[in-house]
Structure 1
Amino acid sequence: MSPLLCYALPALGTYVILSIFFLRRPRLLHTPQVQAFCVRLGAHRGGSGERLENTVEAMENALAQRADLLELDCQLTRDGVVVVSHDENLLRQSGLARDVGSLDFEDLPLYKEELEVYFSPGHFAHGSDRHMVRLEDVFQKFPRTPMSVEVKRENEELIHKIADLVRHFDRNEITIWASEKSSVMQKCKAANPEMPFSFTLSRGFWVLLLYYLGLLPFIPIPERFLISFLPTIINRSYFPFSCPGLNQLAAVASKWFIMRKSLIRHLEERGIQVIFWCLNEESDFEVAFGLGATGVITDYPTALRRYLDSHRATS
């Protein structure tokens, strides 16, 4: 055996042992992050399977089911009003082929009388409330309700207005910055660094890489939330690609890479809440909580509340 191998093999063995040891005992290296709230039940777009998405009526319905979190998306109108809307273009939501940013708030159309539930194809939501709502009004109506606010594009005016509203309503600890793009998240954190924030896509891949390299136990993590899709919903209710073959490949690959109890347990031990979206079936609730997830984001808060209450009663 060469001298290099004589040193390399013991060093590699020691590294592997230490990595596994600290993966299971992260608190020996890291003080767990303190969270102001815990998410078991999150309402996607305010609970868009039971009422029209992102309306006050949907949010009130979700909170009647003791939702811990409202998941919202924001856009900016032409006259500078932050509104709660998933889409920039209003065609799907209202039938009007105009962008939110091309209209003043007072000119925004009503939602359609029914909207298909995105993560439950073939199912439709209805409601008596069809009005788009200002983020300011949501903060005022639900002052102590935790919310996740997603910003999809690098709109600095929108980001700074959200940050200012959060400060104005004293919501720094209970409002989460969310974005898939790291460039957007950097601007969000700069606008209000006191707000907790979730992983972006690239940061999520980075954590997976560190996990498989055995380096994750030794690296600081500033994020407080990992809000991720559950791989088992790909090709069932979530179709990230237009090609069925790519969706099938994504389902298999992501299931193998992401659904690791040891990874989720490690993050939880470090005070990072792991929340899976967007789950609308009891079988998916079972999978998510079976993996050790903190919580679930759903379009159907009543169904998830029923599941949580029944399992608390039998546990």
Structure 2
Amino acid sequence: MCAALYILSTVTGYVLTSALLLKCPALLHRRKQGVFRSRHISHRGGAGENLENTMAAFRHAVQLGTDMLELDCHLTKDEQVVVLHDSNLMRSTGVSVDISDVAYVDIPPYLCRLGVTFQKECYCEGGDDKRIPLLREVFENFPTTPVNIDIKVNNDTLIKKVSELVVKYDREHLTVWGNSNNTIVKKCFKENPQIPLLFSMPRVLLLVGLFYTGLLPFFPLKEQFLEIPMPSIITKLRDPSRLTRSQRVFIWLADTLLMRKALFDHLTARGIQVYIWVLNDEEDFQRAFDLGATGIMTDYPTKLKEFIEKNSIRLSKE
């Protein structure tokens, strides 16, 4: 009887302590400090309004007042850091060759029409700018705009060169980098621990596991940005009638586990920003902000700006 009471009191104490620290993490963790917070993030510069990852797209987004540019980086044959999503140029240029096998001067231009990955049956018609830019051009043209860099391949030289560019242009306080691959994120942190990190996919899974077991309030986190998809948008990108029952169950379960206001509020209180991607309609914008997301990543920066202004959504300073 005494042993049972002891176990019960111990479990009760743990649960209460966990609940308290979930709400008030400052009791155990020092809040992470950052010089910028982003609510409006332009995915690939705004791939639904201009050809993705072009200077025209970035310029348009910055002129609109976006809080952050999201972009992707690869390395060319002559070791130039380019802003490009795919490792192979077929989808973007019509030429089936890996970017790592082409010198920068020989890269073909973008096609005139590209599909918008996160908008069903939608295409973007390009303007005059069809050139794949260098990362340094983005830094030179937008020196005060925060940039979210997805390191697309596990390449030590790419990671080193991106870090060197960030340092050269004095952007360690205006850059966040990483990838879903945990090996890449570890290398990024080792190369330059001063550049804030994204959570990798294994770390996201760990985060969710810690949250549901009540251990998250006790666990230190080195990352400063949680960047996750809203699983429910999959049903808008694919024909629902073609989804199997197991696929629908998986989407529902993933959405239920990931989209948790208590989780987002806890991370925000610890100074960790929560970005949800890639959202392109008002229903999803509203849901993300209602859940407590710091910011939204979109292919349509104009649409998101209008939504934010119409709904008087302000970025919390907490």
Mapped partners of 1:200, 1:186: distance in 2: 9
Mapped partners of 2:90, 2:200: distance in 1: 27
Tell me by how many angstroms 1:173 deviates: 1.0
Residue 217 of structure 1 corresponds to which residue in structure 2? 217
Q: Contact conserved, 1:152 with 1:181, CA < 8 A, in 2?
A: no
Residue 97 of structure 1 corresponds to which residue in structure 2? 96
Tell me by how many angstroms 1:235 deviates: 2.4
SS in 2 for 1:235: helix
Query: Alignment RMSD, CA only?
Result: 1.6
Tell me by how many angstroms 1:137 deviates: 1.0
Q: Contact conserved, 2:85 with 2:152, CA < 8 A, in 1?
A: no
* Per-residue Cα deviation, 1:98-137 (whole angstroms, up to 9, x for no partner): 0001100000011000101000021111222100000011
Amino acid at match of 1:232: S
Residue 133 of structure 1 corresponds to which residue in structure 2? 133
Q: Which has the larger displacement, 270-279 or 216-225?
A: 216-225
What pairs with 1:276-295 in structure 2 (closer than 5 Å)? 276-295=276-295
Tell me by how many angstroms 1:249 deviates: 2.6
Tell me by how many angstroms 1:11 deviates: 0.5
What pairs with 1:243-282 in structure 2 (closer than 5 Å)? 244-282=244-282
Classify 1:122/1:66 alpha carbon distance in 2 versus 1 (closer, same or farther; 3 Å).
same
Q: Contact conserved, 2:120 with 2:238, CA < 8 A, in 1?
A: no
- Paired residues, number: 311
Q: Contact conserved, 2:89 with 2:97, CA < 8 A, in 1?
A: yes
Percent identity of paired positions between Structure 1 and Structure 2: 39
Tell me by how many angstroms 1:302 deviates: 0.1
Amino acid at match of 2:199: F
Residue 181 of structure 1 corresponds to which residue in structure 2? 181
Q: Which has the larger displacement, 7-16 or 246-255?
A: 246-255
Where does structure 2 lack aligned partners over 5 or more consecutive residues?
none
Amino acid at match of 2:17: L
Amino acid at match of 2:43: H
Mapped partners of 2:90, 2:237: distance in 1: 22
Amino acid at match of 2:46: G
Q: Contact conserved, 2:69 with 2:148, CA < 8 A, in 1?
A: yes
Mapped partners of 1:308, 1:202: distance in 2: 32
Mapped partners of 2:313, 2:25: distance in 1: 31
Is 1:77 the counterpart of 2:76? The answer is: yes
Residue 161 of structure 2 corresponds to which residue in structure 1? 161
Tell me by how many angstroms 1:151 deviates: 1.1
* Runs of 4+ with deviation above 6 angstroms: none
Amino acid at match of 2:118: F
Where does structure 1 lack aligned partners over 5 or more consecutive residues?
none
Classify 1:248/1:157 alpha carbon distance in 2 versus 1 (closer, same or farther; 3 Å).
same
Mapped partners of 2:311, 2:274: distance in 1: 19
* Per-residue Cα deviation, 1:21-79 (whole angstroms, up to 9, x for no partner): 11111112222111110111000011100000000000111112111111111011001
